[in-house]
Amino acid sequence: MAAFGRRTVGLRRVGHPGHRTNVGYAPMRLAALVRGDYPPGVYRWRSRAHPGAIGRELAGAGWAGYPLAGHEVTDAARFFDECASTLAFPAWVGHNWEALADCLADLSWLPGNGHVLFWEQYGRLAAGDLKAWRRAYETVESAVAARIRYAAPPLYVLLRGTGPDASPVDGKPIPVLPAAPPSTRAAASPARVTASGSVGSRPRRAR
C-alpha cells in the first residue's frame, strides 16, 4: 500500500460534526481540506510540494495520502492497475469501471479520518485515451458523491501536473485548490467553490 507513514504532532479538534478531525498546530499545506473548508471532490492542485512531505503532514492529522503515478497511465487497463496498487485493492477485485467505483466508494480497509489521492501527471490519460479519461473522471466523481451520502471518511482527488482544466463529463472548469500553505496566504476565508463530485456542497468559512 502506498500510503504515507504516521507521525505524532500537537492536535486540536476542528471541523463540522460530520467531518470533524484532528489538525496539527503547525501550518500544513492541506489544512483547509482537513478542516472541511472545501467539500470532498476533484480539484486541480498546482503545488509542487513532494508527495512524501504532504503525506507526512496529512498523517500527523490522522489522514492518509496516496500518490497515484500517472506518468505511465495512458489507458483504462493501466489506470485500473495503478489504482489497485496505490489503494491496496483486495486481490479479488475485478479490473473494470464498476469494480473501481465500488472500491473507491468503500476503502474500508484503509486507515484514516480522510483520504487524499494525488493523481500525478493526470493529463497523460487524457492525451492517451479520451474515453478512458472521461470514464475515470466520472467514476471518481460518483465515488466521492457516494461517500458523502453514506458519511464515509472524505475522499479528495487532487490532479497534479499538466492536463485538461475542464471536466470531461460536463465541460465545467475543474475547481482549483490554492497551492500555497496557510502560512503564506492572507487570513481570508477560502474561495467559495463547488467541488467536482461534491453534489453541490459549498466550503465553510474558515474559523
pTM of the predicted structure, to 2 decimals: 0.78
Show Cβ contacts of residue 189 under 8 Å, excluding neighbours closer than 6 positions.
Answer: 37, 205, 206
Q: Where are the domains of the chain?
A: 21-184
pLDDT tens digits for 89-129?
Answer: 999 999 999 999 999 999 999 999 999 999 999 999 999 99
Phi, psi of 11 (to 5 degrees): -125, 155
CA distance 49 to 198: 25
Fold annotation for 21-184? Barnase; Chain D (3.30.370)
Closest CA to 29 of 6, 40, 45: 45
pLDDT tens digits for 9-44?
Answer: 333 333 333 444 444 434 588 999 999 999 999 999
Collapsing DSSP to helix, strand or coil, 152 comes out as coil
pLDDT tens digits for 130-148?
Answer: 999 999 999 999 999 999 9
In the Cβ-directed half-sphere of 54, how many Cα atoms lie within 13 Å?
22
